[in-house]
């Protein structure tokens, strides 16, 4: 069984480990109470469903994640995406619709892990991700102005509703405003104090106590006003598929995409202190398991939380049991303190979310992207504006599309070809000649991606063949694991043109993986004029051998496997040696 597909290594659970984890998990659970309730309020459902997510997520995610230190719990970004999926659903039916969003998002996460899609997360560019997360942070801040002021702004988008609140100060509920501003002030001071991890919990207790003790605050909304608080264990309920809609499906896909990208960041930020390294695909599956389990208690979506994971590691956590025990503590809160949960003041939750949104705006990263150039700057701004003005599902799609466009465009722009000449037994780079000369031999190295647009850009940089005879071109492809269909077509066309003028094209430094791809591409028996020289452990040896002896005979065992063209080997190697340096794909072996 491979490392990635094996069951996650479980930390040894002994009395000492569990005892330490129990103590460390208590403050983690304490911080999850306000975070979970605030996330559920932002998702548009009863805050109790956020606590259910903070119960199931750490336990299921903690037991199954390949990253031992990852804490799977409620996140504001996932909640914002979930709200977009159920915004048009009536409040009475919204919990069932939210459970369906959570279930479908979890299924998509599990599928992504099984299909090993973790490597594609790297295609989400830094500029797009920065614009997206900044847009989410600003959306969270703007979306809480209604709860902070007591006036439900009007408008089709979060931005328009926030503008409506600002333009109508006479409609604000001032007891709610005073309480909300007091919460923001407490959080600002608490973030600089030694008890910053408990600042949010302190805000809940103090502001809710003021509502209970001071009659002037009676109009302030409480959590109980958002729906009934069920005491005890979360009731099990099968998700109702009759609530499915395009909004629910799109929202679930958005939640899955956001959780997977954020979870991959958590995996990289919190590597395993002991044992095998974490697997992004394994963490994908773990987050999916947590959401599928949470759907049966109508929990809001959960995912790897960088904030909760950072808090856990800062307290010395080195095992997965800290996250698990924080979930157990959350269960104790739900069983023992359900009445207190209902008495929490809604402006306190709004203040917590606004504070979290402000803190999540990464100013140094924004500045770094801004200085990176016009393309990165434009991608960040377009994504940022998209999050504020478009449905979250559309904004996620826009970000993914921009990431792929940037990846393909920048790879094509970075492509260049150089000529390599031998000088005193060494290979030296020079500019590519615009025109081949008859009876000459030219060695070329291609730097950059040869996929799609990159291959077309490379074709334009190759020396012209017209008017020459018997020219030989050697293209070094060492460390390239594969070629795209466009690149293969370009190479074969160039080889055919050379052959028509009496010349030859040789791919030098071909490794086993690329050789296998070429064999599969020509199983039909189609003839090709491309010749191959196999890579050797010594850098440059295959190319130097080709330059010294272009008529070296083909090894019989290789020829039998690659009939369409001739495969030649360096004179100093044996027929069975196809070793290749494990360099970075797309770079030459100079």
In terms of domains, do 351 and 464 share one?
Answer: no
In angstroms, the CA 34 to CA 202 distance is 9
Residue 2 inside a domain? The answer is no
Q: Biggest alpha carbon distance in the chain?
A: 98
Sole residue written with tokens 């990431």: 403
Q: What would the pLDDT profile of 153-200 be if each residue is shown by its tens digit? A: 888 778 888 899 989 888 899 999 999 999 999 989 887 888 777 888
Residue 580 inside a domain? The answer is no
In terms of domains, do 238 and 383 share one?
Answer: yes
pLDDT of the residue at 408: 61
Q: Which structural domain range is residue 476 located in?
A: 415-568
Report whether 133 contacts 383 (CB < 8 A): no
Last residue of a domain, one of 377, 392, 408: 408
In terms of domains, do 48 and 170 share one?
Answer: yes
In terms of domains, do 438 and 557 share one?
Answer: yes
In terms of domains, do 422 and 398 share one?
Answer: no
- The tokens describing 310, both together, are 């950072």
In angstroms, the CA 510 to CA 580 distance is 8
Domain count, the chain: 2
Q: What would the pLDDT profile of 488-521 be if each residue is shown by its tens digit? A: 888 888 988 998 999 988 888 888 888 888 877 7
Residue 195 inside a domain? The answer is yes
In angstroms, the CA 568 to CA 60 distance is 55
Residue 44 inside a domain? The answer is yes
Report whether 109 contacts 284 (CB < 8 A): yes
Helices (H), 390-511: 392-414, 453-461, 485-500
- The tokens describing 387, both together, are 């999050």
In angstroms, the CA 288 to CA 78 distance is 13
In terms of domains, do 385 and 506 share one?
Answer: no
pTM over 0.85: no
pLDDT of the residue at 543: 63
Query: How many residues would you count in the chain?
Result: 590
In terms of domains, do 420 and 393 share one?
Answer: no
pLDDT tens string, the chain, 590 residues long: the values are: 344 444 444 455 566 677 777 877 888 888 888 888 889 988 989 889 999 999 999 999 999 999 988 999 999 889 988 998 898 888 888 999 999 999 999 999 999 999 998 877 766 778 888 888 888 889 889 988 888 898 888 887 788 888 999 898 888 999 999 999 999 999 898 878 887 778 888 888 899 899 989 889 888 888 877 766 777 778 888 888 888 888 899 889 989 988 998 888 888 878 888 777 888 899 999 999 999 999 999 999 999 988 888 888 877 778 888 899 999 999 888 888 777 778 888 898 889 888 888 888 889 889 988 887 777 888 888 889 988 888 777 887 787 777 777 666 655 566 788 888 877 767 688 899 999 999 888 888 888 777 766 777 788 889 999 989 999 898 888 878 888 778 888 888 898 899 899 998 888 888 888 888 887 776 544 567 888 877 777 666 666 665 665 543 333 333 333 444 444 443 333 333 333 333 333 333 33
């Amino acid at each position: 069984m491979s490392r990635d597909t094996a069951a996650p290594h479980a930390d040894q659970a002994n009395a000492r480990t569990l005892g330490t984890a129990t103590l460390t998990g208590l403050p983690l659970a304490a911080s999850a109470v306000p975070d979970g309730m605030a996330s559920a309020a932002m998702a548009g459902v009863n805050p109790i469903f956020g606590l259910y997510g903070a119960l199931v997520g750490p336990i299921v995610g903690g037991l199954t994640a390949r990253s031992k230190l990852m804490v799977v719990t409620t996140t504001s970004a996932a909640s914002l995406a979930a709200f977009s999926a159920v915004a048009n659903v009536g409040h009475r039916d919204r919990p069932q619709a939210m459970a369906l969003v959570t279930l479908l998002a979890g299924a998509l996460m599990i599928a992504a892990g099984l299909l090993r899609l973790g490597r594609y997360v790297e295609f989400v560019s830094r500029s797009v991700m920065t614009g997206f997360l900044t847009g989410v942070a600003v959306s969270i801040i703007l979306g809480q102005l209604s709860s902070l002021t007591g006036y439900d702004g009007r408008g089709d988008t979060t931005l328009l509703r926030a503008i409506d609140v600002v333009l109508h100060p006479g409609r604000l509920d001032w007891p709610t405003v005073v309480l909300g501003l007091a919460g923001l002030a407490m959080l600002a001071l608490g973030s600089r104090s030694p008890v910053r991890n408990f600042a949010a919990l302190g805000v809940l207790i103090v502001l809710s106590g003021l509502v209970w003790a001071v009659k002037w605050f009676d109009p302030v909304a409480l959590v109980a006003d958002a729906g009934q608080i069920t005491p005890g264990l979360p009731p099990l309920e099968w998700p109702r598929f009759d609530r499915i809609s395009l909004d629910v499906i799109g929202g679930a896909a958005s939640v899955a995409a956001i959780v997977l990208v954020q979870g991959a960041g958590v995996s990289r930020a919190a590597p395993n202190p002991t044992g095998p390294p974490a697997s992004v695909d394994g963490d994908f599956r773990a987050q999916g398991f947590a959401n599928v389990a949470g759907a049966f208690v109508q929990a809001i979506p959960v995912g790897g939380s960088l904030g909760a994971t950072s808090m856990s590691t800062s307290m010395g956590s080195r095992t997965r049991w800290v996250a698990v025990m924080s979930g157990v503590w959350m269960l104790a809160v739900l069983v023992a303190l359900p009445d207190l949960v209902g008495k929490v003041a809604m402006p306190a939750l709004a203040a917590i979310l606004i504070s979290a949104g402000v803190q999540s705006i990464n100013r140094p990263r924004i500045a770094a992207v801004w200085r990176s150039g016009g393309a990165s700057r434009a991608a960040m701004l377009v994504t940022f504006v998209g999050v504020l003005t478009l449905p979250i599902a559309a904004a996620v799609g826009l970000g993914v599309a921009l990431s792929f466009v940037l990846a393909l465009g920048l790879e094509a722009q970075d492509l260049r070809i150089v000529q390599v000449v031998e000088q005193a037994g060494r290979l030296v780079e020079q500019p590519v000649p615009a025109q081949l000369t008859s009876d000459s031999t030219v060695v070329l190295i291609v730097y950059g991606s040869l996929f799609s647009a990159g291959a077309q850009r490379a074709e334009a940089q190759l020396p012209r063949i017209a008017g020459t005879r018997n020219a030989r071109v050697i293209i070094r492809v060492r460390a390239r694991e594969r070629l795209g269909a466009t690149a293969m077509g370009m190479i074969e066309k160039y080889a055919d043109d050379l052959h028509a003028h009496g010349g030859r094209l040789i791919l030098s430094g071909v490794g086993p993986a690329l050789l296998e791809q070429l064999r599969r591409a020509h199983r039909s028996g189609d003839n090709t004029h491309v010749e191959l020289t196999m890579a050797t452990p010594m850098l440059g040896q295959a190319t130097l051998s080709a330059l010294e002896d272009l008529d070296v005979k083909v090894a019989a065992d290789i020829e039998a496997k690659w009939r369409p063209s001739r495969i030649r080997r360096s004179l100093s190697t044996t027929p069975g040696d196809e070793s290749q340096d494990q360099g970075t794909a797309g770079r030459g072996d100079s």
